[in-house]
Amino acid sequence: MGKSKKYEYDYEQYEAGKGPDSMVRDILADPEFGEVTDVVIGSWGSAWEDGCQKILDEIADNGAGFAHVEKLFVGDMDYEECEVSWIIQGNYSRLWKALPDLKELTIKGSTDLVLGQVEHENLESLTIICGGLPASVMEEIGNAKLPNLRKLVLYIGIDNYGFDGDGDTVQNLLEKSDFPKLEYLGIEDSEIQDELAHVVLESKYMKQIHTLDLANGTLTDKGGRMLLEKLPSFPNIKMLDVHYHYMSDGMVSKLKELPVEVDAAEPNEPEEYGGEIWMNAMLTE
C-alpha cells in the first residue's frame, strides 16, 4: 500500500510568504515525496482569495515528478480554514494528460472550477465535494471519456452556492455520460434529493452499480417510497447509502428490510419558520 501525505500551510507560514506559488516546489523538495502515492493538498493559505491554479499548472509542468502519484485530493480543508463555498478552485484541463497513471481525483470547492475536456484511461474514481455544483461542470462530466471510472460522487449543493441547474441537468449528465465500469454512483447533498432519487432510479446505471449513494440531502419518505418500489428490480445493488436524511423512523425500518446493506444514520427533523417548512442539505457553505 502506498503512502499518503498531506501538504498544507498554516497561518504563520502564509504570513511568512507561503502560498500557491510555493506549494509544488515544497512538495517536490520533500525527501519523502518519492514514496508518496496519495497526495492531499490542504490549505494553500489563501484559498478564499487565491485559487489553486498555480498549483495545478505546476503539477502539470512537473508531470514526470508526479508520475508515481495515484491519488490526488485538492482542497482538503475544514470550515475553520476556509468554508467550502469560499474555496477558489481552478482549471484541471492540463492535468489529465500530465498524470496518466492517476486513479483517484477528489476536488473540494467549486468556485471557478473547470474540468475541461476530460479524457483519462486509468482514472477509477472522481469525487467533487462542494456547496453547489455548476451545470457547466456537470456538462463536462457528461462528455468525459473515462472508460475505467468505477466511482463517481457529486455533491450537488444549492443555488446560493453555485448549483445553477435542476433535476434535468443531472438527468442529462447520466443519460449522456458513458462509464461502462461504473460501480458506485453518488448523487448527494441536494435540497431536491427526492427529485434526484427519481432521476437516478430511472438511469441506465442502476443496472450495473453495486452501491447507490443518495446521502447528505433532503431525502424524505417520498424518496424512500421510490427506493422501496424500485430497488427490488435491481439485484445488483448491494449497498444503499442514505445517511443524513429527513425520512421517518417507519420508512427507515422498511428500507432496512430490503435485501441490501442500508446506511440510514443521521436522521433530521424539518424546521418550521414563518409558516414554512425548511430542510437543509448537509454541506452548503
Average the pLDDT over 159-174 and give the result.
95
Q: Is the pTM of this model over 0.85?
A: yes
pLDDT at residue 11, as a whole number:
87
**Is there a contact between 92 and 123 (Cβ–Cβ < 8 Å)?**
no
pLDDT digits (tens, 9 = 90+) for 60-103: 999 999 999 999 999 999 998 999 999 999 999 999 999 999 99
pLDDT digits (tens, 9 = 90+) for 182-233: 999 999 999 999 999 999 999 999 999 999 999 999 999 999 999 999 999 9
Share of the chain above pLDDT 90, in %: 94
**Is there a contact between 138 and 110 (Cβ–Cβ < 8 Å)?**
no
What grid cell was written down for 68?
508515481
pLDDT digits (tens, 9 = 90+) for 125-143: 999 999 999 999 999 999 9
Query: Rounded to an integer, what distance in angstroms lies between the CA atom of residue 57 and that of residue 246?
Result: 42
Burial group, residue 149, by CB count within 10 angstroms (0-12, 13-18, 19+): buried
Average the pLDDT over 144-167 and give the result.
96
pLDDT band at 1 (very low <50, low <70, confident <90, very high): low
Q: What are phi and psi of 182, to 5 degrees?
A: -60, 130
Query: Rounded to an integer, what distance in angstroms lies between the CA atom of residue 214 and that of residue 111?
Result: 23
pLDDT at residue 205, as a whole number:
98
Query: Rounded to an integer, what distance in angstroms lies between the CA atom of residue 186 and that of residue 205?
Result: 11
pLDDT digits (tens, 9 = 90+) for 226-285: 999 999 999 999 999 999 999 999 999 999 999 999 999 999 999 988 888 899 999 988
What region, left, alpha or beta, does residue 32 occupy, with left being phi > 0 and alpha being psi -120 to 50 degrees?
alpha
